[in-house]
Structure 1
Amino acid sequence: MTRKHVFAAAGVLAALAAAGPALAEWKPDRPINIIVPWSAGGSTDQVTRVVAPILEEALGTPVVVVNQPGASGSIGTKAALDAPRDGYTWTANAIANNATYAVTGLLENTSIDDYRIYLHVANVPVVSVNADAAEQDFAALLEKIRGGGITVGTAGVNSSGGMALAALHEAAGDPFNARMVTYDGGNPAVIAAASGEVEATTQLAVEQAEMIRGGRIRPLAVLSDKALEIEGLDPIPPITQWLPDMHVAADYFGVFIPAGAPQEVYDAVDKVWQEKVMTSPELKKYATERGAVFAPAYGAAARDQAMPVVVSEACGRVTRGEAVIDPKEIGIDCPSG
């Protein structure tokens, strides 16, 4: 090869090297919509509005949070799945919801693998009562549930609060006279408990923190095997203090980009997640103040992190007779026995 050819080849390689990163870097040219399939003020809405500005600054385009509630989050989720797979329409939720909508028949032919997963926090449900309620601990509330019964506000059967109530029933056994009253999101469910419209709520700590601080509701137990500490509040005792055999799994939340978008979209968001979200002081502050766990992850690591709660919720639906399809059809194997 002549010197001329060597220089020519080197020039081509240099040009390709220079062009490579530019071709791989996604530059959004219009706003990104994140569909929150619940009403404003709930757990998903809260944390998505913390994360959206981080994404907006890093990607250099507006990131718009769109609330589209209904049918336990399945309406907004379907809207995201039905949108063009161009990287401009995402959704947000608890990953256990998106992964198990098909099991309950709310959405057909969907699974966890329909998304690239970006997790940010883990949330825990809290059993709380109206501030004027006589019950001072979960034992007293359980006694009332086994007797005359109570009303419990949740965001629906497939919401975190609804699944928490079902899990409590499963762990406590019958009789369990807790009548669920459903709302369009966790925030209105908690407000209903604070106003006395319902007697209790099992929604997430992040949705209850301000009402607890304000003395509007009284927390009795957290669905965890250890006490929950929220900045400025007394620790909330774990449910295992009363139901020691109750299985609890962390409920991971995040934003999800439907599969089928250009690879450059996922590569760009992966980078933002790693460099900005996983070190975000704003997100850490939110978690500390609201009683969430700061737990960012993305891609395969996020999927692995989320699977325990996905399996728990999907298989719990089978145990409780709420499943319309076998979880195995969407790749979830339930433990035998």
Structure 2
Amino acid sequence: MKAVLKRCLLGLATFSLVAAASGAGAADPFPQKPITLIVPWAAGGSTDILARVLSEHLTRSLGQPVIVDNKPGASGNIGSAMVARARPDGYTLLVGSMSTHAMNPALMPNMPFRGVEDFTPLGLLAYVTNTMVVNPSVPAHNVKELIAYARANPGKLAYASAGPGSTNHLSAVLFEKMAGVQMLHVPYKGGAPAVVDTVAGQTQLLFSAGTQTLPHVRANKLRLLAVTEAKRSPLLPNVPTVAETVPGYELSVWYGAFGPVGMPPALVTRLNLEINRIMSLPDVKEKMNAIGVETATSTPQQFAAILHRDADRYGKLIRDLGIKGE
């Protein structure tokens, strides 16, 4: 009898140890392996630089490599779809943007993901200063004068864009609608040729990221009229907003961190705190400011609200005007 009891107690002890080990495994601290941070655009751009700064600091603080993986194509949809389909365990993350999540779903048929529903917003990362510039031949030195010129020459002021449905196209369409002007759209296959032809005078007006336009402004090859954000950019405090002349006008280009839908709340909070800490570091701010990018922070809930707002706003604008992406 004693032998039987001893075997039973030994079996219970062994079961308890196995159960405890299993419990410890389930509660292992995150992360236990490398993390992939997908950038849905080619290497070398401002988004890629932002992602690499983020990955460098996350690697230090999390104790595991955070590897940037560029997956360009289909206006950011290829890389974004990979994250949407990934396990929600925190090991596959995305640096997404207003265009990938708020604009593409309205622009493109047969999207491989839903911009809002298929992702977990982790936190806002940065804003890119979006500028309104003209060729120096245009007789306008501010937004008010540009509106007057456009109204006096309906359909003749040509603006360049990176293609139908691009951020600079939406910026111009919104301006036309709110300022009550009619302009001529000249779409290009990408942002670089749009800048080149505006500098050359083939087109007269361009809405584009300061990273692309400001070098030409400093060389007096383009004239800077305004920025498109709701408030003046800390990077260009003396440059007015379009909204100072056209009340209510705003187009803010943001980048943010996402994971797949269904991530555990505790993991979301952990990653959000790390992201906010990194985006607040003085050296990170300085490095990003140097390329025209303003770092930002938010809670996951605040970032989700921005995403919903922009998806509703720009989605409606795109559908109402019948704009189709390429």
Instruction: Give the Cα–Cα distance (whole angstroms) in 2 for the partners of residues 138 and 105 of structure 1.
Output: 32
Give the 3 Å change call, closer, same or farther, for CA 52–144 of structure 1 in structure 2: farther
Q: Could you tell me which residue of structure 1 aligns to residue 318 of structure 2?
A: 317
Give the 3 Å change call, closer, same or farther, for CA 94–308 of structure 1 in structure 2: same
Q: Could you tell me which residue of structure 2 aligns to residue 303 of structure 1?
A: 304
C-alpha RMSD over aligned residues: 4.1
- Does structure 1 conserve the Cα–Cα contact (< 8 Å) formed by 2:175 and 2:249? no
Q: Could you tell me which residue of structure 1 aligns to residue 6 of structure 2?
A: none
- Does structure 2 conserve the Cα–Cα contact (< 8 Å) formed by 1:43 and 1:204? no
Shift of 1:323: 8.2
| Residues 8-67 of structure 1: per-residue CA shift (max 9 Å, x gap) | 9xx98xx78x947961322224x6241233x55555344334323223333431422415
Counterpart pick for 1:181 among 163, 171, 187: 187
**TM-score normalised per structure 1:** 0.72
| Residues 144-194 of structure 1: per-residue CA shift (max 9 Å, x gap) | 4442523333333333222211211211234x123132333x455434433
Q: Could you tell me which residue of structure 2 aligns to residue 98 of structure 1?
A: 101
| Residues 289-334 of structure 1: per-residue CA shift (max 9 Å, x gap) | 455443222422321244333332122224324489xxxxxxxxxx
Q: Could you tell me which residue of structure 1 aligns to residue 208 of structure 2?
A: 203
Shift of 1:226: 3.9
Counterpart pick for 1:254 among 253, 256, 261: 256
Instruction: Give the Cα–Cα distance (whole angstroms) in 1 for the partners of residues 31 and 134 of structure 2.
Output: 48
Secondary structure of 1:170's aligned partner: helix
Counterpart pick for 1:63 among 55, 63, 67: 67
Give the 3 Å change call, closer, same or farther, for CA 306–83 of structure 1 in structure 2: closer
Q: Could you tell me which residue of structure 1 aligns to residue 4 of structure 2?
A: none
Counterpart pick for 1:52 among 51, 55, 61: 55
Give the 3 Å change call, closer, same or farther, for CA 234–100 of structure 1 in structure 2: closer
Q: Could you tell me which residue of structure 2 aligns to residue 270 of structure 1?
A: 272
Counterpart pick for 1:157 among 142, 164, 170: 164
> Percent of pairs identical after alignment?
21
Secondary structure of 2:298's aligned partner: strand
Secondary structure of 2:176's aligned partner: helix
Give the 3 Å change call, closer, same or farther, for CA 207–298 of structure 1 in structure 2: farther
Shift of 1:200: 2.7
Q: Could you tell me which residue of structure 2 aligns to residue 26 of structure 1?
A: 31
Secondary structure of 1:166's aligned partner: helix
Number of residue pairs matched by the alignment: 309
**TM-score normalised per structure 2:** 0.74
Give the 3 Å change call, closer, same or farther, for CA 50–183 of structure 1 in structure 2: farther
Q: Which amino acid aligns with 1:149?
A: K
Shift of 1:211: 3.5
Q: Which amino acid aligns with 2:77?
A: S
Instruction: Give the Cα–Cα distance (whole angstroms) in 1 for the partners of residues 243 and 265 of structure 2.
Output: 44
Shift of 1:225: 4.4
Q: Could you tell me which residue of structure 1 aligns to residue 118 of structure 2?
A: 114
Instruction: Give the Cα–Cα distance (whole angstroms) in 1 for the partners of residues 264 and 228 of structure 2.
Output: 39
Instruction: Give the Cα–Cα distance (whole angstroms) in 1 for the partners of residues 127 and 89 of structure 2.
Output: 28
Shift of 1:109: 5.3
Secondary structure of 1:113's aligned partner: coil
- Does structure 1 conserve the Cα–Cα contact (< 8 Å) formed by 2:40 and 2:79? yes
- Does structure 1 conserve the Cα–Cα contact (< 8 Å) formed by 2:132 and 2:206? yes
Q: Unmatched 5+ residue regions in structure 2? A: 1-12
Counterpart pick for 1:217 among 219, 222, 238: 222
- Does structure 1 conserve the Cα–Cα contact (< 8 Å) formed by 2:96 and 2:256? yes
Q: Which amino acid aligns with 2:116?
A: I
Instruction: Give the Cα–Cα distance (whole angstroms) in 1 for the partners of residues 267 and 230 of structure 2.
Output: 38
Instruction: Give the Cα–Cα distance (whole angstroms) in 1 for the partners of residues 148 and 27 of structure 2.
Output: 64
Secondary structure of 2:105's aligned partner: helix
Larger Rg: 2
Q: Which amino acid aligns with 1:138?
A: V
- Does structure 2 conserve the Cα–Cα contact (< 8 Å) formed by 1:127 and 1:222? yes
Give the 3 Å change call, closer, same or farther, for CA 62–94 of structure 1 in structure 2: closer
Give the 3 Å change call, closer, same or farther, for CA 157–51 of structure 1 in structure 2: farther
Q: Unmatched 5+ residue regions in structure 1? A: 1-7, 325-337
Shift of 1:271: 4.5
- Does structure 2 conserve the Cα–Cα contact (< 8 Å) formed by 1:156 and 1:183? yes
Q: Could you tell me which residue of structure 2 aligns to residue 127 of structure 1?
A: 132
Shift of 1:84: 6.7
Instruction: Give the Cα–Cα distance (whole angstroms) in 1 for the partners of residues 136 and 73 of structure 2.
Output: 28
